[in-house]
């Protein structure tokens, strides 16, 4: 780097080095792995919600608000996953229609 002279002190001032952008590492997860993990998470939430409902029906010590929250969370994550699927299919159709 070239030093810049400070006009008042007449001493060189070094500029800080600008960090170079980091390239992605090979340990990064692939899109497929991320998608599979997301599907597993949604499935896990669905199973937890089902178990919470079963516990509510058989056990009187379960908090109904927690069961409702669990069911709503599972429903919301499932809807989000379906929206992501719809968007990916829409992008796929658009890419398919591109003429080379």
pLDDT at 16: 55
- Residue 71 in any domain: the answer is yes
- Residue 80 in any domain: the answer is yes
Contact 78, 42 (CB under 8 A): yes
69 pLDDT more than 90: yes
- Residue 2 in any domain: the answer is no
- Residue 90 in any domain: the answer is yes
Q: How many other CB atoms are there within 10 angstroms of residue 52's CB atom? A: 20
- Residue 20 in any domain: the answer is no
Short-list 52, 57, 54, CA closest to 72: 52
Token pair recorded at residue 30: 């692939």
pLDDT at 11: 52
CB under 8 Å to 83, separation ≥6 — which residues? none
21 pLDDT more than 60: no
Whole-model pTM over 0.75: no
- Residue 7 in any domain: the answer is no
- Residue 57 in any domain: the answer is yes
pLDDT in tens, 22-54: 655 556 788 889 889 999 999 999 999 999 999
- The DSSP bridge partners found for residue 12 are 5
Counts of helices then strands in the chain (DSSP H, E): 2, 2
Domain count along the chain: 1
- Give SS3 for 13: strand
Domain that holds residue 85: 29-96
1 pLDDT more than 90: no
Weakest mean pLDDT among 14-28, 46-60, 74-88: 14-28
């Amino acid at each position: 780097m070239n030093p810049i002279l400070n006009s008042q002190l007449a001493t060189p001032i070094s500029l800080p080095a600008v960090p170079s952008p980091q390239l992605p590492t090979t340990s990064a997860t692939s899109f497929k792995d991320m998608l599979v993990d997301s599907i597993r998470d949604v499935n896990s939430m669905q199973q937890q919600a089902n178990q919470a409902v079963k516990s509510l029906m058989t056990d009187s010590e379960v908090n109904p608000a927690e069961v409702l929250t669990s069911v709503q969370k599972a429903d919301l994550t499932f809807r989000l996953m379906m929206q992501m699927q719809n968007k990916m299919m829409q992008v796929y159709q658009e890419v398919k229609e591109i003429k080379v």
